[in-house]
Amino acid sequence: MRVNTPQINHQTIEGEVVVINLENGFYYSLLDLSAALWHLAASGLDLDAIVERVAATYPDVTDAAGATRAFLDELVAEQLLVDGEGSPAPAEAGLPTRYTAPLLEKFTDMQELLMLDPIHEVDSIGWPHKPTGT
Amino acid sequence: MSSAPVSGSGRAREISEWFGALVEHHRATAAAEGESMAELAVGRVPIRFHFAGSRLRPFLFPALAHHPQARSEPAFTILIYDSRPGAAPVPAFPFRLEDVGAKGEVAAATTESIRTTWFIGSRMLSVIDLERKVAICWTPDAATLPWYERAAPLRTLLHWILAASGRNLVHAAAVSLPSGRGALLAGRGGSGKSTTAMLCLAAGFHYAGDDYVVVSADQGQAEAHSLYGSAKLTANSLEWLPFLRSGVQGDAADGEKTVVMLGDVIPERMVDSFGVAALIVPHVSAAPRSTLRRSTAAASLRALAPTTIFQLPGSSGATFEQLASFTRAIPAWSLELGADRDDIPALVAQAIEAG
């Protein structure tokens, strides 16, 4: 998999990954294990391999593999990741020692802003354009 | 977001020729109706504002008039004009209404060097040629401009010009202490940043903007720069700041808010640029008291970047990256705005002084 560029952009600051969808206004926050999973998936690592690595790293956690699979599926469903060759993961892309349930925190408040955009809520009086056929 | 710009040399040439025709149309309008110019340093970028005719300047210039005079050759010139009845028609647009995107962007009239927006609500055309260093603002009739174009004039063109000069126009408020260091207040509309800025102004802070400001990070020095000398005030804000009543723009109002040109009323309290010592994200809270706590740079980025990017045509992944770089360099704070707001200016000052 790879990050769905150019519409999806991401930045990592102090361990938190902030992902933004430039097309629809959604943006996301990923922390702890979620951030590590993002880096691994964005690096092109096979999703099945990521799930296996999580299961091996946290053998005492019930259904860590299932939660990870659901999380990765959500990244794909949100179209943050698509098929393709990824970029190398940053050095800190290993899995954290402590398990935290993976979570994709999604923010939708920009959708309201886009829908309220006033520029399309009026008519087109005064619109200058070429006559049809020119 | 905009789709890909036009490709093909023939189409690009047509767009370039249209731009040239607009420049000539502005020149002819200036010859027929007179002209005026101002050269201002906006975010330390020298820009020439060249008005043809006299109708648009009273609407678009007051919110910019507080900027210092430019001291060097303009980096860009903005040609600004409208059309009086009976004047030669504006050169026909090389795009259709259906080509206009959600933020006004027009990919069909965008090339490697030319960017175009058409704002349907204000009927305002903004075009820039980044190679020629010339931008054009045209509207059919100055008298029909909505209030928001007067409170935040030429926003798209200034966004492009400042981006070309290594600055970012951001959706944020900015206030500073008389010592010269200050805070950026980030957050979407309704987060409380304007209220916080006005409370700080009432407490003696200096003011760079309540809605849109410019940020830069030259040589690692994070700075905020004023963009507009306007402020949108609630009835509460006018009670806190009664001396601003004389600057109220009579017909400029946004529902419950009133637009005031602070540059006219309190020019001594307007600050052009200052070092940013804190990035504060306010939140309206039901708590009785206001509280300040340290936050994360990622939270700052989430408060600053989306609301900026989705308001400004042509913003991109590069904008996101630049804002991430900017937020990494500044101590981050969260400010819960409680019912008792007397402490808010002191909390903002505390964050600034801690930075």
* pLDDT, averaged across chain B: 91
Is residue B132 within 8 angstroms of chain A, CB to CB? Answer: no
User: Residues of B with CB below 8 A from A20's CB?
Assistant: 305-306, 309, 320
Chain B: closest CA distance from residue A56 (Å): 30
Q: Identify the pLDDT of residue B272.
A: 95
Nearest to B183 by CA among B274, B115, B267, B92: B274
- Is residue B140 within 8 Å of B123, Cβ to Cβ? yes
Chain A: closest CA distance from residue B2 (Å): 9
Summarised one tens digit per residue, pLDDT across range B106-154 is 999 999 999 999 988 888 999 999 999 999 999 999 988 887 788 899 9
B354 vs B293: CA distance, rounded Å: 12
Summarised one tens digit per residue, pLDDT across range B177-215 is 998 999 999 988 778 888 899 999 989 999 999 999 999
User: Residues of B with CB below 8 A from A87's CB?
Assistant: none
- Other beta carbons less than 10 A from residue B326's beta carbon: 24
Q: Do A128 and B90 touch (CB under 8 A)?
A: yes
B167 vs B172: CA distance, rounded Å: 14
Q: Residue A117 pLDDT > 50, yes or no?
A: no
Chain A: closest CA distance from residue B121 (Å): 4
Q: Identify the pLDDT of residue B196.
A: 93
How are beta strands B35-42 and B45-52 bridged, if at all? antiparallel
Q: How many percent of chain B have pLDDT more than 70?
A: 95
B249 vs B167: CA distance, rounded Å: 29
User: Residues of A with CB below 8 A from B301's CB?
Assistant: 11, 13, 18
Summarised one tens digit per residue, pLDDT across range B213-240 is 999 998 878 999 999 999 888 777 788 7
Amino acid symbol at B221: Q
Q: Residue A91 pLDDT > 60, yes or no?
A: no
Residue A114 pLDDT grade (very low, low, confident, very high; cuts 50, 70, 90): low
User: Residues of B with CB below 8 A from A118's CB?
Assistant: 121
User: Residues of B with CB below 8 A from A25's CB?
Assistant: 306, 310
- Is residue B276 within 8 Å of B182, Cβ to Cβ? yes
Q: Identify the pLDDT of residue A115.
A: 56
Q: Do B296 and A109 touch (CB under 8 A)?
A: no
User: Residues of A with CB below 8 A from B297's CB?
Assistant: 13-14
- Other beta carbons less than 10 A from residue A108's beta carbon: 10
As a whole number, mean pLDDT of residues B77-90 equals 92
- Is residue B341 within 8 Å of B288, Cβ to Cβ? no
Residue A126 pLDDT grade (very low, low, confident, very high; cuts 50, 70, 90): very low
Q: How many percent of chain A have pLDDT more than 90?
A: 63
Q: Identify the pLDDT of residue A122.
A: 38
Q: Do B102 and A118 touch (CB under 8 A)?
A: no
Q: Identify the pLDDT of residue A130.
A: 39
Q: Do A13 and B311 touch (CB under 8 A)?
A: no
The residue among B241 and B140 whose pLDDT is bigger is B140
Which segment, A69-73, A107-111, A124-128, B196-200, is predicted with the most confidence on average?
A69-73
**DSSP tally for chain A: helices H, then strands E:** 4, 6
Q: Identify the pLDDT of residue A93.
A: 65
Residue A132 pLDDT grade (very low, low, confident, very high; cuts 50, 70, 90): very low
Q: Do B89 and A128 touch (CB under 8 A)?
A: yes
Interface predicted TM-score of the whole assembly (ipTM), two decimals: 0.85
Q: Residue A57 pLDDT > 60, yes or no?
A: yes
User: Residues of B with CB below 8 A from A110's CB?
Assistant: 188, 306-307, 310
Is residue A117 within 8 angstroms of chain B, CB to CB? Answer: yes
Of all residues in chain B, the one with the smallest CA distance to A16 is B298
Q: Identify the pLDDT of residue A76.
A: 96
Residue B299 pLDDT grade (very low, low, confident, very high; cuts 50, 70, 90): very high
Selected residues 2-41 of chain A with any CB under 8 Å from a CB in chain B: 5-7, 9, 11, 13-14, 16, 18, 20, 22-23, 25, 27, 29
A16-20: Cβ within 8 A, 24+ apart: A16/B296, A16/B298, A18/B298, A18/B301, A18/B302, A18/B305, A18/B324, A19/A80, A20/B305, A20/B306, A20/B309, A20/B320
Q: Do A20 and B320 touch (CB under 8 A)?
A: yes
Of all residues in chain A, the one with the smallest CA distance to B302 is A18
B118 vs B264: CA distance, rounded Å: 30
User: Residues of B with CB below 8 A from A126's CB?
Assistant: 123, 140-141
Q: Identify the pLDDT of residue B316.
A: 81
Q: Identify the pLDDT of residue B146.
A: 83
Is residue B1 within 8 angstroms of chain A, CB to CB? Answer: yes
Residue B250 pLDDT grade (very low, low, confident, very high; cuts 50, 70, 90): low
Map tokens 């954290």 to a residue. A96
A6 vs B307: CA distance, rounded Å: 19
Of all residues in chain B, the one with the smallest CA distance to A28 is B302
Residue B283 pLDDT grade (very low, low, confident, very high; cuts 50, 70, 90): very high
Q: Do A20 and B306 touch (CB under 8 A)?
A: yes
